[in-house]
């Protein structure tokens, strides 16, 4: 067994100062070896270590390389490591392990103590060689050397490290190599190899501790989400029968992040807030915020502050269309004893209220609280305030009150537009408010501006323009605009435009053309039902799941 006794240690592997080497019951001072290395007598240093500690040539070179690496002599360490034949050493170590196992009646593929220590030195040498190449900017060569460490480990421990009792130094080397390899492939620009390395790290038996495994899972998930590289499906040989196989990057990333969240909830590793941020991003992309809400609800108390949890849950349920649930959570968050001045919560609550005339007055209070904030969200707050006032005006029973609220709504939207002149949603909302107040010339101007700003990519802009032209009795022009919008709109999104076109045909006293348009609309609806089935809301899905649980 080889041991290093350190007089000083800083915690950084590059700065550890080894003062004494011990092996096989013998010890020698490092100063003697360093003196020979400084004089350029590498062979004498090798001979001194081999004779003094009764080691093989590869083991002696591994120790010298470690000394050179720790002293910062990277090129010198590489020169020593180049003299180690990893393949020959691996075959010899495997043979030694098999002979010892047969002689001592141990299970095959379980290297004994002597061969383990030899393997530990040789594998650490190649790992440090890989680190040295990385520091010199040779990422591809470093990846090849790091991969050879794992290949050799699999050859020596054919049943996996988890089935063998190994010493700590060998386990540390293997764990570090497993974590380093995908990073090296990424640095070298070999992304398919990096994906394979990540999967190999997570599917092979390396006996990784929970923290190391969590770091690899998080790094892989982040790579899948943000690298822009589409990962191929895992090979059939790596798939466990009956297991779920992700179809694309997003599914694989979500699966990894959900596994990490489950580990945190079980206390197997430390909480990492960034994991929940990445999971929020991933589930938002695939419109599965209700799944994120479920994970947040199952998070252990104390991991997240209750107000933060309520606000995040409100975002999740709002994204899933459950605005009432989201608003109730926000009311708890904005209670006077919690955080009544939380700007984001105020704006989200106001936005939810702006969609319901019965809640509009409450939304005005939230929006006014957000408008008091002098930061970057003031424009958003004034914008939402205008929407709430406009919705409140619709519920007013007094003509005078309705006119006053409509005027305040327009004023708020115009102020918001001055604060955020490049916001197309504000332009659209101004067009809608002017149209509802019969200011058709101004409404037409904003509708055309919205189409120019968005490049005509939003069908709601064309529909607004057609409606305004229709209100001005310019039916033929409105029909032309609707036809142009249909040409720019995807097939499944043409329903509202077709309905508008049919109404325009009726207004022009063209019943036969209106019937033809309605027939096409009906055919489109039937085709959608056949392709996608009946539309089921999120609340219906939750109710079905609850019924299943009760039945079980």
pLDDT the model gives residue 242: 58
Which residues contact residue 550 at a Cβ distance below 8 angstroms, ignoring those fewer than 6 apart? none
Residues sharing a CB contact under 8 Å with residue 385, sequence separation 6 or more, in sequence order: 350, 364, 367, 368, 370, 371, 412, 416
* pLDDT for the residue 100: 52
Query: CA-to-CA distance for 471 and 467, rounded, in angstroms?
Result: 6
Please write the tens of the pLDDT for every residue from 522-552: 998 888 887 765 544 444 544 554 554 444 3
162 secondary structure, DSSP code: G
- Decide if 89 contacts 122 (C-beta within 8 A): yes
20 burial level (CB within 10 Å; 0-12, 13-18, 19+): middle
Q: What is the pLDDT of residue 538?
A: 45
Below-50 pLDDT ranges, the chain: 1-18, 108-109, 535-539, 541-542, 545, 548-552
| 301 phi, psi to nearest 5 deg | -60, 140
- The Cα 466–Cα 461 span in angstroms is 9
Dihedral of the alpha carbons of 94, 99, 103, 104, in degrees to the nearest 10: -10
pLDDT the model gives residue 273: 87
One-character DSSP codes across 81-143: HTT--HHHHHHHHHHHHHHHHHHTTPPTT---HHHHHHHHHHHHHHHHHHHHHHHTT-HHHHH
Q: Are 380 and 419 in contact (CB under 8 A)?
A: no
CA-CA distance, 156 to 111, in Å (whole number)? 8
Burial class (CB in 10 A: 0-12, 13-18, 19+), 48: middle
Half-sphere exposure of 215 (CA within 13 A, CB side): 11
Provide the terminal-to-terminal Cα distance of the chain, rounded to the nearest Å: 58
- Alpha carbon distance 389, 387 (integer Å): 5
Show contacts of 293-298: CB within 8 Å, 24+ apart. Answer: 293/317, 293/320, 295/258, 295/261, 298/265
Q: Give residue-wise pLDDT tens across range 41-60.
A: 667 777 777 766 667 777 78
Q: Which neighbouring-strand residues pair with 216? A: none
Displacement of CA 229 from its chain's centroid (Å): 14
Closest C-alpha among 76, 84, 93, 56 to residue 170: 93
Query: What is the rounded CA–CA span in Å between residue 171 and residue 102?
Result: 24
Domains parsed from the chain with CATH numbers? 452-551 (1.25.40)
**Three-state SS at 524:** helix
State the CB neighbour count (10 A cutoff) for residue 105.
Answer: 6
CA-to-CA distance for 232 and 203, rounded, in angstroms?
A: 16
The HSE-up count of residue 421 (CA atoms within 13 Å, CB side) is 1
The residue written with tokens 């290297």 in the block is 111
Distance CA 209, CA 175 (A): 8
* Spatial separation of the C-alpha atoms in residues 313 and 323, rounded to whole Å: 11
User: What does the pLDDT look like over 114-132, one tens digit per residue?
Assistant: 566 777 888 888 999 999 9
Least Cα distance to 290 among 265, 315, 259 occurs for 315
């Amino acid at each position: 067994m080889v041991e290093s006794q350190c007089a000083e240690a800083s915690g950084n592997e590059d700065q550890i100062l080894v003062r004494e080497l011990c092996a096989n019951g013998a010890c020698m001072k490092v100063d003697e070896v360093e003196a020979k290395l400084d004089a350029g007598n590498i062979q004498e240093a090798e001979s001194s270590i081999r004779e003094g500690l009764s080691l093989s040539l590869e083991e002696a070179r591994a120790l010298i390389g470690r000394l050179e690496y720790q002293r910062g002599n990277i090129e010198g360490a590489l020169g020593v490591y180049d003299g180690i034949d990893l393949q020959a050493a691996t075959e010899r170590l495997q043979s030694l392990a098999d002979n010892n196992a047969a002689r001592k009646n141990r299970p095959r593929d379980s290297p004994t103590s002597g061969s383990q220590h030899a393997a530990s030195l040789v594998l650490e040498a190649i790992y440090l060689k890989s680190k040295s190449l990385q520091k010199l900017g040779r990422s591809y060569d470093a990846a090849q050397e790091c991969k050879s460490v794992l290949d050799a480990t699999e050859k020596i421990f054919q049943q996996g490290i988890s089935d063998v009792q190994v010493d700590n130094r060998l386990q540390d080397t293997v764990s570090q190599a497993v974590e380093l390899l995908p990073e090296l492939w990424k640095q070298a620009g070999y992304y398919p190899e990096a994906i394979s390395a990540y999967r190999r790290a997570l599917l092979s038996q390396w006996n990784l501790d929970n923290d190391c495994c969590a770091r690899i899972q998080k790094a892989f998930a982040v790579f899948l989400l943000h690298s822009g590289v589409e990962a191929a499906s895992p090979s059939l040989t790596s798939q466990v029968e009956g297991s779920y196989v992700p179809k694309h990057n997003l599914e694989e990333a979500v699966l990894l992040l959900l596994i990490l969240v489950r580990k945190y909830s079980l206390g197997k590793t430390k909480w990492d807030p960034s994991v929940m941020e990445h999971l929020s991003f991933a589930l938002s992309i695939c419109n599965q915020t209700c799944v994120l809400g479920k994970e947040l609800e199952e998070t252990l108390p104390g991991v997240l502050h209750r107000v933060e949890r309520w606000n995040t849950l409100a975002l999740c349920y709002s994204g899933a269309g459950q605005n009432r649930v989201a608003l109730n959570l926000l009311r708890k968050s904005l209670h006077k004893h919690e955080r009544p001045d939380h700007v984001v919560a105020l704006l989200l609550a106001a936005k939810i209220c702006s969609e319901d005339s019965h809640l509009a007055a409450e939304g005005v209070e939230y929006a006014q609280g957000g408008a008091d904030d002098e930061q970057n969200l003031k424009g958003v707050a004034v914008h939402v305030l205008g929407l709430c006032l406009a919705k409140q005006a619709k519920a007013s029973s007094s003509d005078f009150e309705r006119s006053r609220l409509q005027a305040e709504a327009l004023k708020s939207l115009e102020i918001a537009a001055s604060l955020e002149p490049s916001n197309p949603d504000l332009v659209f909302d101004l067009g809608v408010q002017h149209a509802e107040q019969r200011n058709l010339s101004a409404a037409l101007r904003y509708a055309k501006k919205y189409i120019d700003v968005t490049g005509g990519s939003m069908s709601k802009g064309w529909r607004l323009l057609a409606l305004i032209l229709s209100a001005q009795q310019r039916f033929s022009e409105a029909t032309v605009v609707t036809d142009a919008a249909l040409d720019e709109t995807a097939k499944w999104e043409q329903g509202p435009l077709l309905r508008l076109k049919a109404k325009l045909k009726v207004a022009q006293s063209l019943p036969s053309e209106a019937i033809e348009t309605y027939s096409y609309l009906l055919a489109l609806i039937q085709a959608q039902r056949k392709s996608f089935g009946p539309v089921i809301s999120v609340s219906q899905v939750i109710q079905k799941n609850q019924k299943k649980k009760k039945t079980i």
